[in-house]
Amino acid sequence: MGSDDLFKKRREDRKKRTHDFRVPKANSYLIVTEGKKTEPLYFSGIKDKILASVGGTVDIVDLPLIDIYGEGASTEKLIEITEEYVSKAKIIYQNIWVIFDKDDFADFDSAVALGKSKGYSVGWSNQCFEYWIFLHFEYSDSDLHRSQWFEKLNSLFKANHLTEHGYEKNLENLYDLLDSIDGISTAIKNAKRRMADYREGIDKPSDMSPGTTVHLLVEQLRDYIS
């Protein structure tokens, strides 16, 4: 290889290294969810509240960056997809969250462990995200099937006059509806009560039915709201 070619190769290598260089981004969140609509809409509602608060009375150093992706994939496949987002991102996210349900998936526990082994935070729900939504109204430790949580939510949405036809998946204003009855604070309190005896790293998430750790992410995000 001639000296000109060597110089050209080194210059291209430098350009590639510069292009690949990523910087950590403070107050940044990557949230990848199993559901394609309900979960992203819920977290987008929090994001909108945060952005509305910034510039007001919120005292933070930097505008939070919150990227939300609803993938329609579950458990270990969702971890793989999250890895792809992380590897292709132009920044290094400070907080990476994967949100998924147990439903009837046999690899639920291994998916939780896999996500944590990669340094991700996992917001899991057993059986379903609807249990987390239920906690916005009242406490329960009943081991119910996801279809039963849907039925309960249907009654609660009607009783609280949140929607005309009860609970529906993919409600565009889900977060605002729940926030209107002070449901966010209630859900965090109820989730903490339910998970008080859960031993991280000892107990299996699949054995915690019902159970959820979604409140850990919601509580973090709520800190940005005045």
State what percent of residues in the chain have pLDDT above 70: 87
Give per-residue pLDDT as tens, 86-123.
999 999 999 999 999 998 888 999 999 999 999 999 99
Q: How far apart are CA 79 and CA 31, in angstroms?
A: 11
Q: How confident is the model at residue 34 (pLDDT cuts 50, 70, 90)?
A: very high
The pLDDT of residue 19? 44
Amino acid letter, 153: L
Helix, strand, or coil (residue 171): coil
Kindly tell me if the per-residue pLDDT of 18 is higher than 50.
no
Helix, strand, or coil (residue 35): coil
Amino acid letter, 135: L
Enter the tokens of residue 151: 């039925």
The pLDDT of residue 6? 52
Enter the tokens of residue 102: 């147990």
Kindly tell me if the per-residue pLDDT of 178 is higher than 90.
yes
Kindly tell me if the per-residue pLDDT of 11 is higher than 60.
no
Helix, strand, or coil (residue 27): strand
Residue with tokens 């510039």: 55
Question: Any residues with CB less than 8 A from the CB of 216 and at least 6 apart, and which?
Answer: 121, 123
Question: Is 0.85 surpassed by the pTM of this model?
Answer: yes
Strand order in the sheet with 211-212: 65-70, 23-33, 91-101, 121-126, 211-212
Give per-residue pLDDT as tens, 51-96.
888 755 445 456 789 999 999 888 899 999 999 999 999 999 999 9
Q: How far apart are CA 177 and CA 162, in angstroms?
A: 6
Region of 170 please: left (phi>0), alpha (psi -120 to 50) or beta: left
User: Between residues 168 and 4, which one has the greater pLDDT?
Assistant: 168
Of 101, 130, 134, nearest to 205 by C-alpha is 101
Mean pLDDT, the chain, whole residue set: 89
Q: Note whether 35 and 70 are within 8 A (CB).
A: yes
The pLDDT of residue 130? 97
Q: How far apart are CA 192 and CA 61, in angstroms?
A: 29
Give per-residue pLDDT as tens, 126-172.
999 999 999 999 999 999 999 999 999 999 999 999 999 999 988 99
